[in-house]
Amino acid sequence: MLTEINFDGIVGPSHNHAGLSLGNLAATAHAGEVSYPRAAALQGLDKMRGNLALGLAQGFFVPLPRPNGRWLARLAADEATDRALLDGAWSASAMWAANAATVSPAPDTFDGRCHLTVANLVTMPHRAHEWPDTLRQLRLAFADERHFAVHGPVPPSFGDEGAANHMRMATGHDRPGLEIFVYGRSGGAFPARQHQQASRIVARRHGLDPARLLFVEQSAEAIAAGAFHNDVVAVSNGQLLFAHEKAFAEPQRVYREIRERFAEAEIVEVPDSAVSLAEAVQSYLFNAQLVTLPGAEQALIVPTEAWDSASVRRFLDGMTAGNGPVRRVIPVDVRQSMANGGGPACLRLRVVADPATVDPRFLLDEAKADAIEQVISAHWPEQIDPVDLGNAALAGTVRTARIALLKSLELEQLA
């Protein structure tokens, strides 16, 4: 039976605040601060456990090998070459699984299989070296070629940031849906990370029906405000699109085209007068997990920063008090991830599939959650100061921690 599985990235033991992501206001604001990898990983695990308690299917991806010595070797770089390159080799940004790939469920594709295209992430050097190890993991988790097709990255001349710029609307996870690809245009102070051509390549690879497909331009104002990915200003689930008034370049045209292709669409637009664009970006209201609970009601899983915002709280209270599609709001504490610029939605990749077709080693249950917690508590560094990146002893600790996790999960082949 097809269902939505949220695959969260386990926060890696090298989680740090090097501030490498231009345009990600939270990441650059906290640059140089001490990070807390153990707390970050446990916060992410608590969020996954919360989803299990809600009756949702939950999976995970393991951290990538860090520091990435192979990448530094290809760049002929070492500790004395360029500090940004060294810091990039330690990046734990793969924890944000929404950037791992773009996913088209089987009901939407030409061959009736779930298609995944690994994101190339070429706009940011510290992320551009993620895809080979991410691809290995995707091909292991979704190895059953009767049900999945896992593609390599789009050519690097076209920037692709994965599911963070992709939305799907459907009357059910097992029914054909409308896939919406959001791209940006360069020209402002911050780069537009998703290229229109990258989105079009992914759509063709996945064999999507042009009649159930939209390519939408992100608002330049949103990018300038720090919405480096669409999922900072818009999110969809089922028949619902939940978006900020300034998310798209031509919002009314976008809404009209959605309704033309998907008559059942429900659109909830948050006016800038109710929640300003700046507050939406700072609070990560839209970087929430919009999910369908087992009782068929929709819930919005928001970061505590959104719940603590007065304007956001007023809007959410009013929305749930009415007869709208979102019936519950569930705050979660992912403060360490938020300090690096990623909220609850950044931490997960949505895959619609039959759980029985997925490698069970990547599916979470309480016993596995306990095992992961034990490894994190025993091996993850308590804190990392960015000035210590490059330290040989710390590198050994980080590598040992990851290997301990792989052994615990019987995933040593990813070592």
pLDDT band at 32, cuts 50/70/90? Answer: confident
Architecture of domain 3-414: 5-stranded Propeller (3.75)
pTM of the entire predicted model: 0.96
Active site (catalytic) residues: 161, 229, 346
> What is the separation of C-alpha 390 from the centre of its chain, rounded to a whole number of angstroms?
27
Residue 305's alpha-carbon distances to 159, 339, 341, 377, in angstroms, are 30, 11, 12, 25
Q: Which residues contact 221 (CB under 8 A, 6 or more apart)?
A: 246, 277
Nearest in space to 91 (alpha carbons), one of 7, 8, 18, 191: 18
| pLDDT above 80: residue 319 | yes
**pLDDT (tens digit per residue) in 177-229:** 999 999 998 767 788 899 999 999 999 999 999 999 999 999 999 999 999 89
Q: Exposure of 35 by Cβ count < 10 A (0-12 exposed, 13-18 middle, 19+ buried)? A: buried
The number of CA neighbours under 13 Å toward the Cβ of 17 is: 24
Structure tokens at 1: 């039976």
DSSP H helical ranges for 129-250: 131-141, 196-205, 220-224
Sign of the dihedral defined by the CA atoms of residues 267, 271, 277, 281, in that order: negative
Q: Average pLDDT in the 336-364 region?
A: 96
DSSP letter, residue 208: -
Residue 215's alpha-carbon distances to 74, 142, 202, in angstroms, are 36, 27, 12
User: What confidence score (pLDDT) does residue 114 get?
Assistant: 98
| 3-state SS assignment for residue 198 | helix
Residue 307's alpha-carbon distances to 194, 251, 288, 361, in angstroms, are 29, 26, 11, 34
Percent of the chain with pLDDT over 90: 90
Nearest in space to 163 (alpha carbons), one of 27, 281, 61: 61
**pLDDT (tens digit per residue) in 276-311:** 999 999 999 999 999 999 999 999 999 999 999 999
pLDDT band at 232, cuts 50/70/90? Answer: very high
Structure tokens at 387: 């000035």
Q: Which residues contact 86 (CB under 8 A, 6 or more apart)?
A: 67, 72, 77, 78, 79, 389, 390
Structure tokens at 290: 């919009």
Helix or strand run (H / E) with residue 339? helix 335-339
| Domain boundaries of the chain, sorted by first residue | 3-414
User: What confidence score (pLDDT) does residue 322 get?
Assistant: 85
User: What confidence score (pLDDT) does residue 165 get?
Assistant: 97
